[in-house]
């Protein structure tokens, strides 16, 4: 993973939680569009980046309730990552659950799913 490899926790903390969730959502959006044969590696890369950004978000936000929900969501994303075949229904459910984490991100639901 090279796209976010240089992203530090300090830099990630400079973004609001809304921005963090929306950036994770960008990677989920990319992954959701990669359903064709031959897209497996690129789809896995998008999920890997979403997981990496989720890990940074977990580390950046100390609230126990938020951390619990992010860890639960991370399990959904990890399941999509390890599955070699695209699962559009599970992807849409996980994407929607992510966007519901903040009010600003939830406004994107009608436009992305």
Nearby residues of 32 by Cβ (< 8 Å), 6 or more positions away: 88, 91, 92, 95
Which of 97 and 113 is assigned the larger pLDDT? 97
Determine the pLDDT at residue 62.
Answer: 84
Write down the pTM of the prediction: 0.92
Q: Is the pLDDT of residue 4 over 70?
A: no
Task: Give the pLDDT confidence score for residue 106 in this predicted structure.
Answer: 95
Q: What is the rounded CA–CA span in Å between residue 46 and residue 4? A: 11
- Alpha helices (runs of H) in the chain, residue ranges in sequence order: 9-13, 17-33, 40-60, 64-82, 88-99, 103-106, 109-112
Nearest to 95 by CA among 109, 83, 82, 107: 109
Confidence of residue 84 (pLDDT cuts 50, 70, 90): confident
The model's pLDDT over 38-51, given as tens digits with 9 standing for 90+, comes to 899 999 999 999 99
- Position 6 confidence tier, pLDDT thresholds 50, 70, 90: confident
């Amino acid at each position: 993973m090279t796209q976010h490899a240089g992203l530090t926790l300090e830099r990630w903390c400079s973004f609001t939680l809304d921005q963090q969730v929306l950036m994770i959502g960008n990677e989920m959006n990319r992954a959701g569009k990669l359903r064709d044969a031959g897209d497996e590696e690129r789809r896995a890369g998008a999920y890997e980046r979403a997981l990496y950004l989720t890990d940074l978000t977990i580390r950046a936000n100390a609230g126990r309730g938020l951390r619990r929900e992010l860890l639960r969501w991370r399990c959904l994303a990890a399941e999509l990552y390890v599955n070699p075949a695209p699962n559009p229904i599970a992807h849409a459910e996980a994407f929607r659950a992510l966007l519901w984490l903040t009010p600003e991100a939830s406004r994107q639901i009608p436009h992305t799913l």
